[in-house]
Amino acid sequence: MASAIDQLRWPTQALAPPASEQIRLFPSFVCIPDELALDFSQWFEVVSHSDDLSVEQRTALERLDQTLGAFSGTAHTDAWIEEALHPHPAWRKFRQRAIDVLVAFNWPREGPPSNGSIYVGTPHA
């Protein structure tokens, strides 16, 4: 069974690449920006309580979480639509923070493989 830190690798790798790669990770009927942030936040919550993190790792994770959090809420709804993945300055910040986490954990800067998740919904026509 993979550790929580191992589970955190996928969403971090998913936040780091360009929008075109991020879009390929999910079915067309999900809100991709939300999924990217929620997947990371879920595993960050678990890992953030771990004593196995170095100061560098903890700092990088907290900076990414804080950056994502700074753009949550109704004042920033423009950052959370698929079209924002390409040009929105928030996504440049999210990607850089995710890259910082990958470096801190010595994880490759490559897009993740399929996460095997099953999404329930109706594809857009």
Question: pLDDT band at 2, cuts 50/70/90?
Answer: confident
Question: pLDDT band at 73, cuts 50/70/90?
Answer: confident
Please check the confidence at residue 125 and state whether its pLDDT lies above 80.
Answer: no
The answer to whether 49 and 3 are in contact (CB under 8 A) is no
**What pLDDT was estimated at residue 110?**
81
Please state the pTM of the whole predicted model: 0.89
Please check the confidence at residue 55 and state whether its pLDDT lies above 60.
Answer: yes
Buried b / exposed e across 67-99, counting CB within 10 Å, b at 16+?
bbeebeeeeeeebbebebbeebebbebbbebbb
High-pLDDT (> 70) share of the chain, %: 89
Which 3 state secondary structure label does DSSP give 109?
coil
**What pLDDT was estimated at residue 95?**
97
**What pLDDT was estimated at residue 18?**
94
Length of the chain: 125
